Chain A
Amino acid sequence: MQVPILKQGPFLIASVQSALSDADLLQLRDTLVEQVGRYRSRGVIVDVTALDVMDSFSSRTLRDITQMIRLRGAETVVVGIQPEVAFAMVQLGLTMEGVPTALDLEEGLAYLNQEIRTKGNETERHGR
Chain B
Amino acid sequence: MGGEERVRIGSDADIVLARQRGREMAARMGFSSTDLVLITTAISELARNIILYAGHGEIVLRNGSDNGRAIFSVMARDQGPGIPNIEQAMRCGYSTSGNLGLGLPGVRRLMDEMTIESRVGEGTTVVAKKWKP
**Bound: A85/B86 CA distance, A:** 28
**Bound: A119/B107 CA distance, A:** 40
Residue of A nearest to B40 (CB): A53
Please tell me the number of chain A residues within 8 Å of chain B, measured between CB atoms: 25
Taking a contact as CB atoms under 8 Å apart, the answer to whether B20 and A54 are in contact is no
Which residues of A lie under 8 Å from residue B44 when comparing CB positions?
53, 55
**Bound: A54/B48 CA distance, A:** 13
Total residue contacts A-B, CB cutoff 8 A: 78
Interface residue tally of chain B, by bracket? 20 to 34
- In the complex, chain B residues 15-49 whose Cβ is within 8 Å of any chain A Cβ: 15-16, 19-20, 23, 33-34, 36-38, 40-41, 44-45, 48
User: Dominant SS at the B interface?
Assistant: helix
Interface residue from B16, B20, B23, B103 paired with A92 (Cβ < 8 Å): B103
Interface residue from A22, A60, A97 paired with B96 (Cβ < 8 Å): A97
A residues whose Cβ falls under 8 Å from a Cβ of B? 19-23, 52-57, 59-60, 63, 82, 84-85, 87-89, 91-94, 97
